[in-house]
Amino acid sequence: MAAENTDRARGLRDVQDLLSRKATSVGALVDQALVQSKEQAHLNAFLETFDTSAREQAERVDQRLKAGEAGPLAGLVLSIKDNICYKDHRVSASSRMLEGFTSLYSATVVERLLAADAVVLGRTNCDEFAMGSSNETSFHGPVRNPLDEKRVPGGSSGGAAASVAAQVVHAALGSDTGGSIRQPASFTGTVGFKPTYGRVSRYGLIAFASSFDQIGPFAHDVHDAARVYEAMAGHDPLDNTSSHRPVEPAALDTHPGKLRIAYYRECLERPGTDPEVVAHLQATIDRLKAEGHTVEPAELPMLEHLVPTYYILATAEASSNLARYDGIHFGHRSKEARSLEEIYRMSRSEGFGPEVQRRILLGTFVLSAGYYDAYYAKGQKVRRLIREATLRTFQDFDLILMPTSPMTAFELGALSEDPIAMYLQDIFTVQANLVGNPAISLPTGTHSNGLPFGVQLMAAPFREDLLLQASAQLFGA
């Protein structure tokens, strides 16, 4: 069946309306997406499209639609970040270390989305082992922002964000360790949602920093992000960090009433934040007040300590997680190595790129004898203080409003020689990962340079229902 013009059918509701009217089929939608992925190949967003399995899944979904048995995501075409496993498909974390590796099992999130009748189109490029804020550290080269191809799409889930922004797929899965879903969403004008830590299973996610990582969706609107989230959330016996708490559905069509919303003066006053981003946040605060919501300043716990604390702890976990990739247990083995020591040294030197090596070295340093107490142990104490202060804020407020990123998408190569400037891209996003609470980036602003940027909302742990409801009703996203 030929597809009706679906340029405007970016979201699941439009797609399912077309399917219900038999104006298209899932097979036609997948074929269209595959064509678009080839036309957009210069963006380098996809490392691979799963043409055969995507068409086979589409055929199954079409049959289930005819039988009246289709799942809630029937018609949804999505991509998955190249650190999420899909059985019998390649996954590499965009690193030479895992080049050519085929997964023996599927991540729980992939299994649940397939069971809901979504179709996985392919795997998307990302910063190597999810380490980066621009998608320039990938072994396969940088991803380009579909809105301005001279600029980055953000990172580390830049390929996932670009696949949605380029309208190849309806939604995408990324992973968020310190802002790696929300910052690319801000740069590409999409919705990016990080659930509470433990709300979505991490089984089948190639680990960067295990106490920070969380899988979440990109989408064109909050409705689709919520539908994808609800399909994959919930306890997983294969992940001992996943929560047993029931998943509360978000009533997106219901107004949440008058809310108590906090904001941080430090975000408005911080040097280095683009003045237009600041002005937009202030205008948003004024609008919400005019609508009758209580919007008041709250104390931001240690703004200047957020990024250092995050990088000390995250790199420590990375050095431990990536120790298995040594040319013997897992990963690339150097063909030039002639001794056991050379296998370790040369395989890791060849397999890992400069940014991954930098973070492994930093993490190993802060865990080493003589420095553990001074850095890692102190970092854990500061993390606890940040968490406690943030949770105290949620005793008095329903939501916290912040910028997502201090600037719009920057040009390729602009920050690649300055790791500190690159790390500071995460200054407004790492708080949610340190605390473990849910956060979302909503595309609400357009800069004078023509590029989008987002505002960020955070809610108390496991209040995804309120966060998504407020996002839909307050921002129409």
In this structure, what DSSP letter does residue 374 have?
A: I
Q: How many Cβ atoms sit within 10 Å of the Cβ of residue 330? A: 15
CA distance 389 to 292: 26
Instruction: Find where tokens 């850095």 sit.
Output: 375
CA distance 338 to 342: 6
CATH topology of domain 1-477: Amidase signature (AS) enzymes (3.90.1300)
CA distance 457 to 291: 17
In this structure, what DSSP letter does residue 206 have?
A: P
pLDDT at 9: 54
3-state SS class at 432: helix
User: 180 an active-site residue?
Assistant: yes
Q: How far is CA 194 from CA 28, 93, 237, 361, 376, in A?
A: 31, 19, 21, 28, 25
User: Which amino acid is located at 284 in the chain?
Assistant: T
| List 156, 201, 242, 416, catalytic entry | 156
CA distance 167 to 147: 11
Helix or strand holding residue 123 (H, E): strand 119-124
CA distance 30 to 36: 10
Nearest alpha carbon to residue 79 among 175, 1, 200: 175
**Token pair of 72 as six digits:** 């809630």
Give me the tens of pLDDT residue by residue for the chain, a chain 477 residues long. Answer: 444 444 445 799 999 999 999 999 999 999 999 999 999 999 999 999 999 999 999 999 999 999 999 999 999 999 999 999 999 999 999 999 999 999 999 999 999 999 999 999 999 999 999 999 999 999 999 999 999 999 999 999 999 999 999 999 999 999 999 999 999 999 999 999 999 999 999 999 999 999 999 999 999 999 999 999 999 999 999 999 999 999 999 999 998 999 999 999 999 999 889 999 999 999 999 999 999 999 999 988 788 899 999 999 999 999 999 999 999 999 999 999 999 999 999 999 999 999 999 999 999 999 999 999 999 999 999 999 999 999 999 999 999 999 999 999 999 999 988 988 999 999 999 999 999 999 999 999 999 999 999 999 999 999 999 999 999 999 986
Residue 111 contacts by C-beta under 8 Å, 6 or more apart in sequence?
Answer: none
CA distance 444 to 287: 13
| List 81, 95, 138, 157, catalytic entry | 81
pLDDT at 162: 98
Residue 416 contacts by C-beta under 8 Å, 6 or more apart in sequence?
Answer: 134, 136, 422
In this structure, what DSSP letter does residue 41 have?
A: G
Give the end-to-end CA distance of the chain in Å, rounded to a whole number: 32
CA atoms within 13 A on the CB side of 181: 31
pTM for the model: 0.95
| List 180, 201, 347, 441, catalytic entry | 180
CA distance 337 to 348: 11
